[in-house]
Structure 1
């Protein structure tokens, strides 16, 4: 993720491996399975992750909270990255980063329980065996403590602009439209200085390109639900118009 390129992803909220299969076949750089606001349950995750892996597309999972045991289960399901919502302080950040990494870098428990021979067992001590740990900044408190959170050395920061604008009490367009002098550009610069890759939720191509120009290096450009809704709306309009 830190190769200097911009990685455009897809967001999946549907509880169906076919949705992942369709997205992965189309060339997205990565896919995030949303287990916070989406339909996926813990029991679904291994099947959903494997659907992405069939096309060699890395699958991230946004977990619902900060529970280290649950994060461990998601990691064991094969997630290449863990996206953790609503991180607001250094202590929480450090614990989350630790839960994604084997000793001596962290406290991740070793449990190679995946049964499929397609996947090698993780190798403790090998940095490549650890999933990416990506922390979400989406509140005023998280923004205030951003530098301390960055000091815990997560692999990435993922800005949630919708919740961040609500928490700051400002209009979303004010947050998104400030350009290189605005808050989002400042967050990206601070991440880069700390050696942490900045990402942001975009959800559509034009906004993603604006965010890339501000220095963000990974973002979803579409979701399965929005793609389905737009396609349905367009086909209905074409015959009823």
Structure 2
């Protein structure tokens, strides 16, 4: 009887102890989920805040500077500086394209930003050089055109002199036609001048000067030959 009671007590004690020990599988703390999600949240923030932004404003400024340089005549009056700016501009485009295919976290637009500053500087210099060179070319073109006009006036005076001895009609007709052709060329130059193609004006004016000089020499030669024939 005593043994049975003792056994019953031990069994009940064991059951009680087993019932009291349970793994802690109750509900998790409310903040446990937020703690687990924080690394992902921090990573998302890093991806968003750490992503470099492309230098859009600097790109637009460089683009505008190149357009301004072109409108100022840099293609004709500052071609070397403009070429440098446009070459650097294309290099920036390649750099931006390379950064664009990278993961946002690993994009670095600092080199492109620095390059765009160089493009802006070169384009601005091209514009300034173009304006200065254009003004200088205009002044030189005006001088060349005035000299060409003066040369043709001298030729016209020689042809119009009444004291010119009788010359070979064919030779005289050839000189007159050449003179009229040169006058037409001079008129074309004046039209080009109004279009501000000053380099073309200088080049063509020098050609007119050369034609006028040769005609001047030919007229004198024809007159001398005619005078010799007249005397003989």
Q: TM-score, normalised by structure 2?
A: 0.18
Flag the structure with higher strand content.
Answer: 1
Greater Rg, structure 1 or structure 2?
A: 2
Q: TM-score, normalised by structure 1?
A: 0.18
Flag the structure with higher helix content.
Answer: 2
